[in-house]
Structure 1
């Protein structure tokens, strides 16, 4: 479908031949066109080849592939069924056959083909697909939480999708409908046979649609030569973030050489920022500073409610899957900071894309890797930045067995989504929805875990405002129902450990005694964070920023008098230390059972923090060393400490940290921090001081 241009891409979004070659046969011509992703043109040739008495299985498979890639799933199912019955069919065609059967709601047949494809393969992946079939059956039989309606006045026989709000009366969306601006084959995208994607404005009150005009007087020209859209606009309506196919000249693009000796250009996506000019047109174009169309794509922009965080989709290095959701924070000088991955609570080894921030402050996004009904499913999560609650599948009827994406809402109850589900007018259609409240949409789905993913621990972020929205207003939500009295306040500032100067844009989190996040936000330079809490509880306050080692301080409100109108204020000035090559950080909370090297549950909390640091700083390389006290033989302690260091490194590796970023070393008792050497009488507390894990930074680039 059209949206693959924007996501799965991201690896060969638009491909054009560098040189024409003599076509020697119809099959060669068809394969060359297919190789250039010109499915619309190659399909006719493959269909003619399929008319032979005994066509090759590869020809039948290519016909099915073309139909699938052009979004004609009914025809794709018919041709994959034919291919699946032939000797010599490729296994991947069996998988695609199962996928279109699921999309076409033929669940038992889909299960058969999934079992056939995964026979002898990874059981977790088979279970994941079978669970999608079961979920689709179960959820489709329910009334659901929403009423979903096809917006026929906005949709056409073409692809229409990607709604965003210009204001309460006008919408923006993306479409490849015909505008009459081209003659002949000019302007045709040969993957689909339709025109390039363009942006349109829709007047809700008058049911009127018009194409959006751009000011093309600058050095960035958003002409109709390539795809344009989707587009997100800030709250004041004067700044837009537009996803476009790069307009760079072919000489500036990477190319690959194909088996047919063709040189193919690779056109990726980039994010363009624009402002509205006095003539009503969008202009003053600027490229998002982290675009890199020679290496990866960036698109699908979404802004936090306060405009301080920009979320987007990218396949840039350092992610967890094919495409992930990333974010960038606006700094005090108005520029966008270095992108940070949103973390593996929402990102998986598969595709995540199309983020949006609803009027309720939640993140809405689409995923292929989280448990769902098949294709892209829409999920919601609470939190901000890289700290998120467990995603909630919005289920049927917002989700279907097809691809469901681009969910937008200004109030959390009404809005629009895009889908290529059955019964629409075109390949992708726009649907409106309204919440009906038949069941609880906040209840997480008890479903099978995604394959090849490690579930995050202690990642729940309940009631966390978007960073920058004012920490003084951040109210912890206590799941037990014990509402804070607001008469005890934890407050303070964040300083750099060496210079003792205030630091800008620091994420501050309030956690309960179990390490669960219950409040938080971003503290700007010289801004004081403030959390209202209740008496008789233990809390953790954590400060973290990319390029710094996080700091955590524990505080107890036991015995504090918060009665009457008295306000109790607790000052907690935290310091965080900049990451630098050669600097060592000591962790004293990674404990092991006596004479054992396996990671205990209480140690996982500390190692999870280290995982987060490594993800926030993707160039960081560390030496992870373990140290013992002096009791036991020197040789035994050396072996034990090394085994413990190896165990910690293995834990980080299981959580997605590349092995080449870590070195495990055991120092045994060779680096004691006090006088407690062999034969020296010491207290248990003194011996415990030597039992530690150290993290030494041995590589990386870190910004301040």
Structure 2
């Protein structure tokens, strides 16, 4: 009897276990379901387990899935390793070469990328178009890297998190940000202990923030959640957001309202898709109305979002993958009617859009649209583009090239109203996490592009064969140029920066030189009224020319101080002879890490704007008084603390007098030349000297000096510094090299 009870008991306990084992899904099934739900982080881990045991005809398919998962969540090194294993197999599909080439291109390995892309074969027209675009992009990237533009640029470390952070706009209060990394951080006004996680990337959902102190050099970095009373309870991704010019109407990109994030229509593990929509809210008095879908713009079954408004608020640009476009994600627009409602959306046309992805539109200046594209020839991933025109009428399309673009995703190009200071986001190497916010300053940004030609709208670019790229003496154009006007060749003797096919060379120039400023046009500030020469002379008489400055705790430079790490985008001075919307990780392929590659001399000459040189000095006689003032200004020296770009009190007092003099001499232009001491690497010191140049430039602009009168040359290490030759030096001797000096161009 006891034996019978024991048998019954064991059978009772074992039966549920057997049933549970029969109901469990295989790892492969769970991986497939996670992949279909776009939960790539989870799917990648599951596929990796399967790949370790996969054999036979299924092995190649599993390897492709693993590589795709790592690529989509931005782990490009891992994706490249899996594609490398796959392409060595005899049963490797031809499409793998294109995918592997894309990963290599995104990591900046353009020569290796071309080798893989050239192996791709297909009978489909769209696939061959993509192949040709990628090859043309490799050719362009090689040339653009060799013709890098010199400017002050930095990763804003204070805004970097372990997640993705990107800029979506500027308001009167500060910088608009979208981030999934701030939610746990103390820099957030409302940090969360356990924020909801998006299984697609295994990261928190995005939220929208405002950074009020977006000028650099602040003591505290503080971001606050935007309109938590309106957006705080949204369960999934929030952002990007856009305000109208009066800032009383909000447009925000969200997941489908009050639905599962996958928009499921029936029960089951795999169905539905992620849909993004535009919602809006209007401020009435001191309160914001509840969010509502923007019915005139949204399209059922399609993703719509990433709003950018024209300066007058009458035209809305946005991204959408609805039917009727050129391909995948396209840029669309809508015009506001007299009754205040938005009109029927229209596609911006084939000049802007391609059969591939275009997204992240921004509007910074009248008659110019910025956006990111994977369809036009570029350096890899999403590249930033600048289009002149509006709606469907476009005339010039320009790739912003390096240093704005990289092998990774570059997006969200935002300019402040002064038009010499801007921001963008990128997941290039050197950041704090995935996407990071970068800041740049260039007093001649618009000049770099306004007089230049552009690339043609999407057609079928013909790639240049490898042998021609590496051996041809005549430059081959990776994309055809639409010339705006012929630019005569000029001999450049005193230019600091000149585009060249040779490796960059730094040549210090002692005489007043004309650095090549790139185009950007700052809105000129009204000049001070000219005064008598007696007052001019007296202004500088009291200036202390070479006094040893004292460190000042007040930060007036737009850059943080001290500079703790090299700037991500190194500044180079060269001379010679000549798709879902919220968060980019839902929109496109992940960005690869950039790997520096030694490339042979590039024959592909790209559509690069001629460098903007400072005007040559006119040989007009100066009076004795003028010469005395000029001599006084050119002997001024502005010193810095070690590893700092912060102006001291003595420097600011001298610059106040310089601003007065420049206002009295409206024809004079100013060259700002900065140096560092001998310590540190060459690349780091080039960047640090650029920051010192812009500390001076930014201060003078705030004093009313038009930015287009200011030029700079970041020398880096002082070539005359004896401490750089192994000679022991005191701190006072080192400081003599850490300086900025001025030259007058008249």
Normalised-by-shorter TM-score class: 0.5 to 0.7
Q: Secondary structure at the match of 1:389?
A: strand
User: Which of 259, 266, 274 is the matching residue for 1:267?
Assistant: 274
Show the counterpart of 1:32: 33
2: CA distance, partners of 1:453 / 1:417 = 28
User: Which of 63, 73, 76 is the matching residue for 1:70?
Assistant: 73
Q: CA deviation at 1:99?
A: 0.5
Map residues 276-291 of structure 1 onto 2, 5 A cutoff: 276=283, 282-291=288-297
Q: TM-score w.r.t. structure 1 length?
A: 0.56
Q: 1:209 to 1:178 in 2, by over 3 A?
A: closer
Task: Tell me the matched-pair count.
Answer: 430
1: CA distance, partners of 2:261 / 2:118 = 46
1:126-162 per-position Cα deviation (integer Å, ceiling 9, x unaligned) = 3322221111111112231643311111120101113
User: Which of 174, 180, 186 is the matching residue for 1:176?
Assistant: 180
Q: CA deviation at 1:310?
A: 0.9
Conserved 8 A contact 1:175-1:200: yes
Show the counterpart of 1:395: 401
User: Which of 206, 209, 214 is the matching residue for 1:197?
Assistant: 206
2: CA distance, partners of 1:374 / 1:256 = 38
Greater relative contact order (Cα 8 A, min sep 6): structure 1 or 2?
2
Show the counterpart of 2:431: 424
1: CA distance, partners of 2:483 / 2:391 = 11
1:62-94 per-position Cα deviation (integer Å, ceiling 9, x unaligned) = 221111111111111111111111232333332
Structure 1 spans left out of the alignment, 5+ residues = 1-20, 455-459, 463-477, 481-704
Conserved 8 A contact 1:174-1:199: yes
Conserved 8 A contact 2:136-2:461: no
Map residues 121-520 of structure 1 onto 2, 5 A cutoff: 125-144=130-149, 146-167=151-172, 169-177=173-181, 179-180=183-184, 187-204=196-213, 206-216=220-230, 223-249=233-259, 253=263, 255=265, 262-276=269-283, 282-292=288-298, 294-411=300-417, 412-435=419-442, 437=444, 440-442=448-450, 450-451=458-459
Show the counterpart of 1:625: none
Conserved 8 A contact 2:54-2:62: no
Q: 1:112 to 1:425 in 2, by over 3 A?
A: same
2: CA distance, partners of 1:297 / 1:139 = 34
Q: Following superposition, which runs of at least 4 residues in structure 1 exceed 6 angstroms of deviation?
A: 181-184
Q: Secondary structure at the match of 1:264?
A: coil
1: CA distance, partners of 2:123 / 2:350 = 28
1: CA distance, partners of 2:198 / 2:379 = 30
Q: Secondary structure at the match of 2:291?
A: strand
Conserved 8 A contact 1:163-1:416: no
Q: CA deviation at 1:453?
A: 9.2
Show the counterpart of 2:530: none
2: CA distance, partners of 1:307 / 1:479 = 36
Conserved 8 A contact 2:372-2:384: yes
Q: CA deviation at 1:387?
A: 1.0
1: CA distance, partners of 2:86 / 2:296 = 44
2: CA distance, partners of 1:338 / 1:290 = 7
Q: Secondary structure at the match of 1:74?
A: helix
2: CA distance, partners of 1:117 / 1:239 = 49
Conserved 8 A contact 1:226-1:247: no
Show the counterpart of 2:117: 114
Structure 2 spans left out of the alignment, 5+ residues = 1-21, 185-190, 463-481, 488-746
Q: 1:282 to 1:76 in 2, by over 3 A?
A: farther
Conserved 8 A contact 2:161-2:181: yes
1: CA distance, partners of 2:157 / 2:176 = 16
Q: CA deviation at 1:287?
A: 2.0
1: CA distance, partners of 2:331 / 2:457 = 19
Q: CA deviation at 1:235?
A: 1.8
Map residues 645-656 of structure 1 onto 2, 5 A cutoff: none
Conserved 8 A contact 1:349-1:453: no
